[in-house]
Amino acid sequence: MRDTQFFRRWMAATAAAVEREAARLTELDSPIGDADHGSNLLRGFTAVESALTSDPPTSPGALLQVAGRTLISTVGGASGPLYGTLLRRAGKELGDSTEVSDEQLRAALRTGVDAVAQLGGAAPGDKTMLDALGPGVAALATSYRAAADAAEHGALATVPMQARKGRASYLGERSIGHQDPGATSSALLLGALADAAEGDA
Amino acid sequence: MRDTQFFRRWMAATAAAVEREAARLTELDSPIGDADHGSNLLRGFTAVESALTSDPPTSPGALLQVAGRTLISTVGGASGPLYGTLLRRAGKELGDSTEVSDEQLRAALRTGVDAVAQLGGAAPGDKTMLDALGPGVAALATSYRAAADAAEHGALATVPMQARKGRASYLGERSIGHQDPGATSSALLLGALADAAEGDA
Amino acid sequence: MKMLINSPETVVADALRGLAAAHPELDVDVEGRVVTRRDARGSGRVGLVSGGGSGHEPLHAGFVGPGMLSGACPGEVFTSPVPDQMSRAAAAVDGGAGVLFVVKNYTGDVMNFEMAAELAGEDGIQVEQVLVNDDVAVTDSLYTAGRRGTGATLFVEKIAGAAAEEGRPLDQVAALARRVNESSRSFGVALSACTTPAKGSPTFDLPDGELELGIGIHGEPGRERRPMMPAREIAEVSLGPVLEELADIGPVDGPVLLLVNGMGATPLLELYGFHGEVARVLADRGVTVARALVGNYVTSLDMAGCSVTLCRADEELLRLWDAPVQTAALRWGR
Amino acid sequence: MKMLINSPETVVADALRGLAAAHPELDVDVEGRVVTRRDARGSGRVGLVSGGGSGHEPLHAGFVGPGMLSGACPGEVFTSPVPDQMSRAAAAVDGGAGVLFVVKNYTGDVMNFEMAAELAGEDGIQVEQVLVNDDVAVTDSLYTAGRRGTGATLFVEKIAGAAAEEGRPLDQVAALARRVNESSRSFGVALSACTTPAKGSPTFDLPDGELELGIGIHGEPGRERRPMMPAREIAEVSLGPVLEELADIGPVDGPVLLLVNGMGATPLLELYGFHGEVARVLADRGVTVARALVGNYVTSLDMAGCSVTLCRADEELLRLWDAPVQTAALRWGR
Ligand SMILES: Nc1ncnc2c1ncn2[C@@H]1O[C@H](COP(=O)(O)OP(=O)(O)O)[C@@H](O)[C@H]1O
Ligand SMILES: Nc1ncnc2c1ncn2[C@@H]1O[C@H](COP(=O)(O)OP(=O)(O)O)[C@@H](O)[C@H]1O
Ligand SMILES: [Mg+2]
Ligand SMILES: [Mg+2]
Ligand SMILES: [Mg+2]
Ligand SMILES: [Mg+2]
Chain D touched by C11 (CB under 8 Å): yes
Cβ-Cβ contacts under 8 Å, C142 against chain A? 164
D275 catalytic per annotation: no
Phi, psi dihedrals of residue A179, rounded to the nearest 5°: -80, 135
Q: What is the CB-side half-sphere exposure of residue A198 using CA atoms within 13 A?
A: 13
Smallest Cα distance from D216 to chain B, Å: 9
What span, in angstroms and rounded, lies between the C-alpha atoms of C287 and C281? 9
3-state secondary structure of A175: helix
pLDDT in tens, D177-235: 999 999 999 999 999 999 999 889 898 889 989 999 999 999 888 889 999 999 999 99
Residue type, A71: L
pTM for the model:
0.95
* D and B adjacent (3 or more CB pairs under 8 angstroms): yes
pLDDT band at D95 (very low <50, low <70, confident <90, very high): confident
- Let me know: does C79 contact C178? Beta carbons within 8 Å: no
The pairing of beta strand D99-104 with beta strand D71-77: unpaired
- Which residue of D14, D260, D306 is in closest CB contact with C276? D14
Q: Give the pLDDT of residue A201.
A: 61
Residue type, B94: L
For residue D196, give the nearest of C84, C191, C210, B37 by alpha carbon.
B37
| Residues pairing with C271 in the sheet | none
- Let me know: does D138 contact D180? Beta carbons within 8 Å: no
Chain D touched by C322 (CB under 8 Å): no
**How far, in whole angstroms, is CA C260 from its chain's centroid?**
12
Smallest Cα distance from D150 to chain B, Å: 13
Least confident of A170-179, C291-300, D58-67: A170-179
Chains near B, with 3+ CB pairs < 8 A?
A: D
Q: Give the pLDDT of residue B107.
A: 98
Smallest Cα distance from C94 to chain D, Å: 27
pLDDT at residue C319 is higher than 90: yes
My answer on whether omega of the bond before C58 falls inside 30° of 0, hence cis, is: yes
Q: Give the pLDDT of residue A8.
A: 98
Residue A156 C-alpha to ligand 3 middle, in angstroms? 18
**Angle formed at CA D294 by CA D290 and CA D297, multiple of 5 degrees:** 120
Give the ligand 1 atom nearest the CA of A167.
21
| DSSP conformation letters of C155-199 | HHHHHHHHHHHTT--HHHHHHHHHHHHHTEEEEEEESS--B-TTT
Ligand 2 lined by B81 (C-beta under 6 Å):
no
* CB-based contact D76 B40, cutoff 8 Å: yes
What span, in angstroms and rounded, lies between the C-alpha atoms of B6 and B9? 5
What span, in angstroms and rounded, lies between the C-alpha atoms of C268 and C262? 8
Mutate to test the pocket of ligand 2, among B41, B118, B129 (most ligand atoms within 8 A of CB): B129
pLDDT at residue B200 is higher than 80: no
Cβ-Cβ contacts under 8 Å, A72 against chain C? 82-83, 115
pLDDT in tens, C151-202: 999 999 999 999 999 999 999 999 999 999 999 999 999 999 999 998 898 9
3-state secondary structure of A123: coil
Q: How far is CA A44 from CA A11, A41, A181, in A?
A: 11, 5, 15
pLDDT in tens, D104-123: 999 999 999 999 999 999 99
Chain C touched by A20 (CB under 8 Å): no
What span, in angstroms and rounded, lies between the C-alpha atoms of B154 and D303? 34
What span, in angstroms and rounded, lies between the C-alpha atoms of B11 and C78? 58
Chain D touched by B147 (CB under 8 Å): no
Range C224-232 average pLDDT: 96
Smallest Cα distance from A102 to chain C, Å: 31
What span, in angstroms and rounded, lies between the C-alpha atoms of C269 and C274? 9
3-state secondary structure of D328: coil
Interface probe for A, chosen from C111, C115, C136, C302 (most Cβ of A below 10 Å), is C111
Q: Find the residue in A nearest to C146 (Cα).
A: A170
Radius of gyration of chain A (CA): 15
Cβ-Cβ contacts under 8 Å, C83 against chain A? 72-73, 81
H/E stretch holding A125: none
Q: Give the pLDDT of residue D142.
A: 66
Chain C touched by D92 (CB under 8 Å): no
What span, in angstroms and rounded, lies between the C-alpha atoms of D191 and D211? 5
Q: Give the pLDDT of residue C128.
A: 98
Look at the alpha carbons of C58, C64, C68, C72 in this order and tell me if their dihedral is positive or negative.
Answer: positive
For residue D144, give the nearest of D111, D106, D112 by alpha carbon.
D106
- Which residue of D82, D198, D204 is in closest CB contact with B76? D82
What span, in angstroms and rounded, lies between the C-alpha atoms of A127 and C107? 14
H/E stretch holding C311: strand C305-312
Cβ-Cβ contacts under 8 Å, C57 against chain D? 267-269, 272
Smallest Cα distance from D124 to chain C, Å: 34
pLDDT band at C220 (very low <50, low <70, confident <90, very high): confident
Range B16-29 average pLDDT: 97
Cβ-Cβ contacts under 8 Å, B73 against chain D? 82-84
**Angle formed at CA D328 by CA D326 and CA D329, multiple of 5 degrees:** 95
- Let me know: does A48 contact A198? Beta carbons within 8 Å: no
* B and A adjacent (3 or more CB pairs under 8 angstroms): no
What span, in angstroms and rounded, lies between the C-alpha atoms of B70 and B65? 8
Give the ligand 2 atom nearest the CA of D107.
8
Q: Whose CA is nearest to atom 23 of ligand 1?
A: A77
3-state secondary structure of D229: coil
Q: Give the pLDDT of residue C221.
A: 82
What span, in angstroms and rounded, lies between the C-alpha atoms of D105 and D111? 10
Q: How many CB atoms lie within 10 A of CB D57?
A: 25
* CB-based contact D108 B164, cutoff 8 Å: no
In total, the C-beta contacts within 8 angstroms joining chain A to chain C are 119
Q: Give the pLDDT of residue C142.
A: 65
What dihedral do alpha carbons A38, A44, A50, A53 form, nearest 10°? -100
Higher pLDDT, C76 or C143: C76
In total, the C-beta contacts within 8 angstroms joining chain C to chain D are 198
Q: Find the residue in D nearest to C61 (Cα).
A: D269
Least confident of C130-134, C136-140, C171-175, D314-318: C136-140
Q: Give the pLDDT of residue B60.
A: 98
* CB-based contact C82 A75, cutoff 8 Å: yes
Range B186-200 average pLDDT: 95
| DSSP conformation letters of chain B | -EEHHHHHHHHHHHHHHHHHHHHHHHHHTTTTS-S-HHHHHHHHHHHHHHHHHHS--SSHHHHHHHHHHHHHHHT-TTHHHHHHHHHHHHHHHHTT-SEE-HHHHHHHHHHHHHHHHHHH---TTSSSTHHHHHHHHHHTTT-HHHHHHHHHHHHHTTTTPPP-SSGGGGGGGGGTTS--HHHHHHHHHHHHHHHHHHHH-
pLDDT in tens, C36-82: 999 888 889 999 999 999 999 999 999 999 999 999 999 999 999 99
Q: Give the pLDDT of residue D139.
A: 77
H/E stretch holding C291: strand C288-295
C218 catalytic per annotation: yes
What span, in angstroms and rounded, lies between the C-alpha atoms of D110 and D144? 14
For residue C25, give the nearest of C328, C262, C267, C243 by alpha carbon.
C328
Q: Give the pLDDT of residue C215.
A: 94
What span, in angstroms and rounded, lies between the C-alpha atoms of C137 and C145? 12
Q: Find the residue in A nearest to C148 (Cα).
A: A170
Q: Give the pLDDT of residue A61.
A: 98
Give the ligand 1 atom nearest the CA of A166.
8
What span, in angstroms and rounded, lies between the C-alpha atoms of A115 and A82? 8
Residue B182 C-alpha to ligand 2 middle, in angstroms? 6
Instruction: List all residues 6 or more positions away from C305 whose beta carbon is below 8 Å from its beta carbon.
Output: C188, C189, C190, C191, C192, C211, C212, C215, C262, C263, C266, D4
* CB-based contact D82 B27, cutoff 8 Å: no
3-state secondary structure of D163: helix
Q: Average pLDDT of chain D?
A: 95
Give the ligand 2 atom nearest the CA of B29.
17
The pairing of beta strand B99-100 with beta strand B2-3: antiparallel
Give every residue of chain A whose pLDDT is below 70, as ranges: 201
- Let me know: does C49 contact C73? Beta carbons within 8 Å: yes
- Which residue of B26, B33, B72 is in closest CB contact with D220? B33
